Structure 1
Amino acid sequence: MSDAPPILVTGAAGFIGHATAHRLLARGERVVGIDNVNDYYDPALKEARLATFEGLDGFAFHRMDIADAPAIATLVRDNGIRRIIHLAAQAGVRYSLENPFAYERSNLAGHLSLLEACRHAEGFEHLVYASSSSVYGDRPLADRGFREDDPVDMPVSLYAATKRSCELISQSYAKLYGFPQTGLRFFTVYGPWGRPDMAYFGFAQKILSGRPIEVYGEGRMARDFTYIDDIVDGIIGALDNPPAAQENRILNIGNSHPVGLMEMIDTLETAIGRKAEKIMRPMQPGDVTATYADVSKLTALTGYQPKVMLTEGLDRFAAWYRDFYGDVG
C-alpha cells in the first residue's frame, strides 16, 4: 500500500467512480470515497457496488453530499488529500427536464465545493473532474471527431449547460489560485455495473422481461460507446500527468468509433440471445443526434488507446447482468 496521501474519489458508489476506485486500490493507492447514494436510480445497485469494497485495505467511505462545502473542506483537510477524481454529479439529460434544481445543487454547488476545498488544501497537486460530450451540443456526424477546441456555446440541455459551467468555473479557479485541473469530456460510458438510466441497460431489462423497447430519434442517432475499463485507463492516465499550475486542461475521453443506435440494439440482442420488440419514437428534448470523440490529445499525453469494441463490451455486460439480476428484466 502506498505511503502517499489517499486519493479522493467522489461518486464512489456510482458507475465510473466504483470502477476507478477499484483500479486505484489494485495499484496500491489508498482511496477515500464519498457518495450520497441518492435515489436517482435504484440505490440497491449503488449499495451493491459499495459492498465490493468490503474487506479491501486502503479504502474508506463517507456517505455525504458534495454540495456540503464545509464537510468537504474538512474531509480534504483531515485526510491530507492532494489529488481528487471528482465524478459525482447529477447525471442524465431527460431527468433535467423534470428536476432542474437537482443539477444546480449537485453539479454547480457540488463542483464549487470541491474547488474551494482544493484551493485551501496544503500542497494540492491535481483535480481531475468529469465533464461531458453533451457540451458539444447537437451536431451532425462528421468525418472527424469532436475536438476540444470546437465551439461549445450551444448546449441543448440543462445537464450540458451545467457541465460547461463547471469547465468555466474551473478555468477561473485555475487562474486565480494556481492549482492544476483536468476536465474530462466523457462519451457514452457503458459496461458491467452500469447505470440503469442508460439506453443499453434499460433495453436489456425490457428485452429480458418481454417488454417492448422505445427507440428514440427513429433509430437514427449514433453514440461513441466507450467501455468502462477503457474510460478508467484514461482517467488514471490523466491523473498521473497533471498540467502546469494555473491550467485547466480539457480532454475528450471516448472510443472514437461512433455506432448507430440500431446497430447497438442488434449487438445487444445477439449478446442477450433475444430479439426486441421496437416502438419507434421521435427525438426527445435535450437529446443530440450523434457523439464522436477525437481523443488525440489524451492519446498523446497518456498513450490512451481504447481496446474493447462494442460486441465484446456488450457480451461482458450481458454476462454481468444475468449474474447480478438473473435471466429476467
Structure 2
Amino acid sequence: MTRKRLLQENLTSYAFLTPWLIGFFALTLYPMFYSLYLSFTQFNIRQPPQWVGLRNYIVMFTGSEQFPRDERFFNSLLVTFKFVFTSVPLKLLFALAVAMLMNKKLKLIGMYRALYYIPTLLGGSVAIAVLWRRIFAGDGLLNLILERLFHLTDLPAWISNPKYSLSTLILLAVWQFGSPMIIFLAGLQQIPKEYYEASSVDGAGKVRQFIWITLPSLSPIIFFNLVMQMISAFQSFTQAFIVSNGSGGPLDSTMFYSLYLYIKGFGFSEMGYAAAMAWVLLIIIAAITAIFFKSSGSLISYGSGE
C-alpha cells in the first residue's frame, strides 16, 4: 500500500511537471542539439541541410584554398570584445555609485529609485535605439546643445562616424544601469550598520569604510552582476541593428557578433554558418565565465570565512 501511494504521488508530480518537461525538451534541448547538427552543414532554409563537416568552423578561423577566411567574423569579435569589456565595468561603476546615493534616507527616495530604474526597462527597446540615433546624428540634440552652449562648430555625426559610433552604443549600454543598481542597493541594505559604527569609533573615514567594509561585503553581488552583465553584453543586438540600419556600419564599427550572426543567417541565408557562430559564442561566454569563477575564489567574501 505504501509503495502504491508513493507511486501515485510520483505520477501526480510528473503530471504537474509535464508542461515544463515538454517545453524544455521541445523548445530548448531539441533546438540546441539540432543547431549543433546544423553547424556542420550547409543550410539555406529552402533546401535540406548538406553535411560539410568542419567547413564552417574552418572558414571562421583559418580558411582554406577553396574557402577563404571570414575576416568580418574576426572584426565582429573585436567589436564585441571592445563593447563588452568597456561597457560592463562602466555600467557597474555607475550602478554602484547611484546605489550608494539611493541608500540614503531622503524624501521621495522611492520615486528616485523608480526614475533611475526606468532606463533599464526602456533601454533595450527599438524606440530608444531610434531616439539614440537621432540624438547623436549630425543635426541631433547633442550637437545642438554643444553649438548653443559652447559655440562649437564642425561637430561630427557621432553615430555615423567610425571613430565614435561604438562609443555611442557603449554610452547607451551604460545608461541602462538600473538592473545592477537595484541588486547593489539590496546588497547595501544587508550590510550590518554595526560594521560602520565600529569602524567610525576606530577612526576610519568614508573611503576606508568603502574599501574595507562595503566592497568586501558586496563582493558576491559584484561578481554576480559582473557575470550576468557580461553574458548580456555579449548577446547585444537591438541597439546595433537599429542604429546602423542592420548593416553594422559605418565601416563595420558597430558590427556586433550577434548582428553579424543575424546577417549571415537571415541576410545571406547561411543558416549552417550562423548556427556554427552561435556555438562559438556559447563556447566564448562559457570559457570567460569559467575563468571568472576560477579566479574569483580569493576575491569573494561570503561573510562566513569562505
Structure possessing the higher relative contact order (Cα contacts under 8 Å, 6 or more residues apart): 2
Relative to total residues, which structure has the larger strand share, 1 or 2?
1
Same fold (TM over 0.5): no
**TM-score, normalised on structure 2?**
0.24
Relative to total residues, which structure has the larger helix share, 1 or 2?
2
**TM-score, normalised on structure 1?**
0.23
